[in-house]
Amino acid sequence: MREEKKKIRKIWEKSENRGGMFKKIKTMIVWVKDWIKIGWNELRYVGCVDWFWVGVETHTLSAKTYCYNKEIEINPNNYTAYNNRGCAYFDLGDYTKAKENYDKVIELHPGDSMAYYNRGNVYTELQEHKKAIDDFTKAIETYPSYASAYFNRAMAYYKEEKKYEEAIKDLEEAMSIYLAHENSWVVGRCLQLIKEIKLLQRCLGQNCLTTTRIASLEFAS
Q: Render 100-118 in DSSP notation, one character per residue.
A: HHHHHHHHH-TT-HHHHHH
User: Which DSSP state fits 157?
Assistant: I
| Cβ contact 160:124 at 8 Å | no
Q: So what's the pLDDT on residue 38?
A: 39
- Written out in words, the top-level CATH class of the domain with range 1-109 is mainly alpha
Report CA torsion sign: 147, 153, 158, 163. Answer: negative
Q: Which CATH architecture has domain 111-221?
A: Alpha Horseshoe (1.25)
Q: So what's the pLDDT on residue 169?
A: 95
Mark the ranges of the chain whose per-residue pLDDT is less than 50.
1, 8, 11-12, 15-27, 31, 34-48, 208-217
Q: Report the chain's mean pLDDT, rounded to a whole number.
A: 77
Neighbours of 43 (CB within 10 A): 20
User: Which DSSP state fits 219?
Assistant: -
Please tell me the distance from the alpha carbon of residue 95 to that of residue 102, in angstroms, as a whole number: 10
Indicate if 111-221 has the same CATH topology as 1-109.
yes
Question: Beta-strand (E) ranges in the chain?
Answer: none
Report CA torsion sign: 190, 199, 160, 134. Answer: positive
Q: So what's the pLDDT on residue 168?
A: 94
Q: So what's the pLDDT on residue 45?
A: 40
- Report domain extents, the chain: 1-109, 111-221
How far separated are the first and last CA of the chain, in Å rounded? 42
